[in-house]
């Protein structure tokens, strides 16, 4: 069984946490591995709408990011990347403070399409949002080549 390379995970998390959009929203990658990812964000005023509750766009962004990274380790091609084909969400409850924790889970990885789902919970474990995404595998990605990651797996 393949084992994720800790050096790859460290560089990956560093790049994700510094990338423009997640950084703008203060979203942090907390954990990633084969078939899963965990992202978190501390709710700030910039995340809320006029009524003081978290804007649905933050929930959508968390689901999008969590599903993307949940399938990442299943793709063996080191120069492949992903792009979202669709994103579906169910908003189940609102939140106005504390930490949001999004856990992504790989459902299926095919030759060209992947499917994953994710849940967002608050720190007390209350389910706030559930979503799913279909992602397309992009082969021979110049972005993946330019980053220069260490190998994904170790023996």
Tens of pLDDT, residues 54-93: 999 999 999 999 999 999 988 888 778 899 999 999 999 9
Superfamily of domain 3-146: Hotdog Thioesterase (3.10.129.10)
Supply 25's token pair: 């929203």
The count of C-alpha atoms lying within 13 angstroms of the C-alpha of 65, restricted to the half-sphere facing its C-beta, is: 29
Split at pLDDT 50, 70, 90, the class of 5 is confident
- Reported pTM: 0.92
Split at pLDDT 50, 70, 90, the class of 144 is low
Instruction: Show me where the domains of the chain are located.
Output: 3-146
Between the alpha carbon of residue 146 and those of residues 11, 21, 24, 108, 111, the distances in Å are 13, 19, 22, 27, 23
Whether pLDDT at 30 is above 70: yes
Handedness of CA 13, 18, 20, 25 (dihedral sign): positive
If one counts every other C-beta atom within 10 angstroms of the C-beta of residue 142, the result is 9
Taking only the tens place, the pLDDT of each residue in 101-119 is 999 999 999 999 999 999 9
């Amino acid at each position: 069984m393949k084992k994720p390379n800790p050096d790859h995970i460290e560089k990956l998390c560093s790049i994700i946490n510094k990338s423009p959009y997640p950084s703008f929203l203060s979203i942090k990658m907390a954990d990633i591995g084969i078939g899963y990812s965990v992202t978190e964000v501390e709710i700030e005023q910039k995340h809320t709408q006029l009524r003081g509750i978290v804007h649905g766009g933050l929930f959508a962004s968390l689901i999008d990011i969590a599903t993307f990274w949940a399938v990442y380790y299943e793709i063996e091609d080191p120069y492949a990347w992903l792009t979202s084909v669709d994103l579906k969400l169910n908003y189940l409850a609102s939140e106005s403070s504390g930490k949001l924790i999004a856990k992504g889970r790989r459902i299926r990885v095919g030759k060209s399409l992947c499917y994953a789902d994710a849940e967002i919970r608050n720190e007390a474990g209350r389910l706030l949002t559930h979503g799913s995404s279909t992602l397309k595998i992009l082969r021979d990605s110049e972005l993946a080549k330019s980053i220069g990651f260490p190998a994904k797996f170790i023996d």
